[in-house]
């Protein structure tokens, strides 16, 4: 059996480039067009002249994180995600120190289009449940 060494996280969405650019801002990723193309828009125009297909991707410039792939789908989001990303900004922190780090990141992401849903805090451990620009849940952890 072959060893799997990479994973890609795929988002179904209405506006792939918009969602990709949001996640680039969150994670410090960059939009990387397909080989031979100057942009995802150029790729999509060539492959889907009728405008039906749209894709975009975001990659970790260090190569450490997984590639994020965004694909247009016709249906909208209707229920809670079965899988979500945890944005690990409070690793190793506890209590008020952790909460302060999470709140600072939340304050940075809201102007980018994220929506704060709720704070989960038991006095030691905490996370903030949020949504991206299309309503996909993620956690600041």
Low-confidence ranges of the chain (pLDDT < 70): 1-2, 4, 51-53
pLDDT at position 6: 79
Q: What's the pLDDT tens digit per position in 18-50?
A: 999 999 999 999 998 999 999 888 888 888 877
pLDDT at position 52: 59
Q: For the chain, give the longest Cα–Cα distance.
A: 54
In Å, what is the CA distance from 5 to each residue of 32, 66, 90, 129, 136?
20, 10, 26, 29, 26
By the 8 A CB rule, do 32 and 63 touch? no
pLDDT at position 51: 65
Q: Is 46 exposed, middle or buried (0-12, 13-18, 19+ CB in 10 A)?
A: exposed
pLDDT at position 53: 57
By the 8 A CB rule, do 86 and 106 touch? no
pLDDT at position 1: 66
Token duo for residue 139: 């956690």
């Amino acid at each position: 059996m072959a060893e799997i060494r990479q994973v890609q996280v795929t988002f179904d969405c209405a506006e792939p480039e918009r969602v990709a650019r949001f996640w680039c801002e969150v994670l410090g990723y960059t939009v990387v067009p397909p080989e031979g193309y100057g942009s995802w828009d150029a790729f999509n125009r060539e492959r889907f002249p009728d405008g039906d297909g749209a894709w975009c991707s975001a990659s970790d410039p260090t190569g450490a994180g997984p590639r994020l792939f965004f694909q247009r789908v016709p249906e909208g989001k209707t229920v809670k995600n079965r899988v979500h990303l945890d944005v690990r900004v409070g690793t190793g922190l506890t209590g008020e120190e952790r909460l302060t780090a999470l709140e600072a990141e939340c304050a940075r992401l809201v102007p980018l289009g994220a929506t704060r849903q709720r704070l989960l805090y038991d006095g030691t451990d905490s996370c903030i449940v949020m949504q991206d620009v299309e309503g996909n849940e993620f956690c600041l952890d």
